[in-house]
Chains A and B, each alone.
Chain A
């Protein structure tokens, strides 16, 4: 278990560096859609909630908390992707006619 945690820490550190490098290059123009996209991606926590509910069918406490958690996270997944897409559709470049 101990070495697993160390592995996980390495992964966390590397992912933070990747995150910094990738997101530093996002144009300020897209900061709002960026936030709603990361929000949707972050809702991957739904995976943990699914495992919680699925693996403990006879534990009412775990099931209730897990179901609420799935509902909350899924609404972020669906809503987050939806609104990000709607926002990005709106960003248009000026047509060549206009100068």
Chain B
């Protein structure tokens, strides 16, 4: 803070360039053709910023910095090489790491500065550790659920919202007390500790289907906590990067919550997973029509237009490569095959796109919901692989359905609907899907990967 002005200016200019590169980096992400320039811009910005920081005069000891940088890179490489199916939990884990960094620095800064902490400084410092703390444990919980170390189903208990609310009040209340009496050090660990517990409890009631919203929200919190850290350290670069990340996460959460027909306040206050499996019981087995791979292959081969609707079930069964074979086979026969992507299909925003891109399916065949919905009436076959609630027509017509109002893919308007599914058990949210009982619907019972493999064999052999 008392360096020579000259070098300080150089470093600030480096930060300025890095900030510009970060903004460009995100701007270039808008299209797949320029996106890889975006990464390069981001990387250059990052190297400049870290390099510039190491030049600071105030830094006297490099030993630990170098050790930590090397160690972090060593951990980062395997985290960057995970399988594409593991991307949601990897993302959650990296939110946790980002938040951990912010929380630790915030904690250290408090003890270095106390008891002389200005009111505004104490406010942003509290914001930093509250957001950082809850994001850290919340993201760890999310990662655990996605990795299936923790139970995926929502864990709920009576008075859950009240407990969460009280914890939040304790954290914020202690923080406010600290703002007024910064010398009351004892309150700081309370703020951090309660935030950590709050993060755990916030994510406990969340089920797998709500993960896209939650991950986006945690992304936003991670960004905001970094921006708060920028205020504490008076680093404009950090404020900008945090604001960009925060707004990105916020936009994604808004998109996700809209796609699930939840109000945004509903999401903000952590009332995820409130759709309960209330009406699951009492359903008598209604007749369904089922078909074998041979029959399915014959129908697909005779079709002109096929739309495939992938869901989380496809990811679980690791069926994306078999789906690619099916795509190739049908395309060769002159069938027009496209993929309908619901915004919340899978476990994080864009999850299905990445899996299908990994399987080498061209991205211009992946169509968003609004764009493809009008085409279903002209579609010969809609093939649903491991998706359920996003195709449930009850969301359009049945006011009593828990998902009523949620935008869905209008697959029931296709001439023939085929659903690959393990059995007749209701989907994740425990909601019955009337789609399965339509006359035009054929149920293809079996594992997604094996069943698609069976269809591919039939198509190949019958040629």
Contact = CB atoms under 8 A, between A and B. Distances in A.
Given A74-B69, A81-B80, A69 B104 contact: yes
Interface stretch (B202-210, B232-240, B395-403): B232-240
Contacts of B251: 20, 23-24
A50 B72 CA distance: 13
Interface string B373-402: 000000000000000000000000000000
Interface in A36-84: 36-57, 59, 61-63, 65-84
Contacts of B54: 50, 54
B170 to A, nearest CB: 23
B58 A55 contact: yes
Nearest to B216: A35
B30 interface: yes
Contact of B105 (A5, A29, A65, A85): A65
A71 B75 contact: yes
Interface in B73-130: 73, 75-82, 84, 87, 90-91, 94-95, 97-98, 100-102, 104-105, 107-109, 111-112, 118, 120-121
B53 A47 contact: yes
Interface in A15-40: 15-16, 18-20, 22-40
Contact of B243 (A19, A36, A78): A19
Nearest to B256: A31
Contacts of A73: 72, 97-98, 101
A22 B27 CA distance: 5
Size bracket of the B interface: 35 or more
Nearest to B225: A45
Contact of A75 (B64, B97, B105): B97
A33 B71 contact: no
B245 A38 contact: yes
Determine the main DSSP class of B at the interface with A: helix
A70 B68 contact: yes
A33 to B, nearest CB: 7
Contacts of B65: 50, 53-54, 70
Given A37-B29, A44-B226, A81-B39, A75 B341 contact: no
A97 B111 CA distance: 65
Interface string B20-44: 0011011101111001101100110
A94 B22 CA distance: 30
Contacts of B421: none
Contacts of B360: 90, 92
B49 A47 contact: yes
Contacts of B58: 51, 54-55
A67 to B, nearest CB: 5
B343 A59 contact: no
Given A12-B227, A80-B94, A98-B362, A38 B248 contact: yes
Nearest to B102: A45
B46 interface: yes
A75 B76 contact: yes
B29 A5 contact: no
A32 B64 contact: no
B348 interface: yes
Given A30-B35, A51-B59, 6 more contacts: A12-B227, A15-B243, A15-B244, A26-B26, A45-B241, A66-B64
Top 6 A-B residue pairs of the complex, sorted by shortest distance between their CB atoms: A74-B72, A82-B80, A78-B76, A54-B59, A31-B350, A19-B247
12 contacts: A11-B240, A26-B26, A32-B349, A33-B35, A35-B249, A46-B50, A66-B68, A74-B75, A80-B80, A84-B39, A88-B39, A90-B358
Interface of B: 18, 22-23, 25-27, 29-32, 35-36, 38-39, 42-43, 45-46, 49-50, 53-54, 56, 58-62, 64-65, 67-69, 71-73, 75-82, 84, 87, 90-91, 94-95, 97-98, 100-102, 104-105, 107-109, 111-112, 118, 120-121, 215-216, 219, 222-223, 226-227, 229-231, 233-252, 255, 331, 341, 343, 348-351, 353-354, 357-358, 360, 362-366, 368
Interface of A: 1-2, 4-5, 8, 11-12, 15-16, 18-20, 22-57, 59, 61-63, 65-95, 98
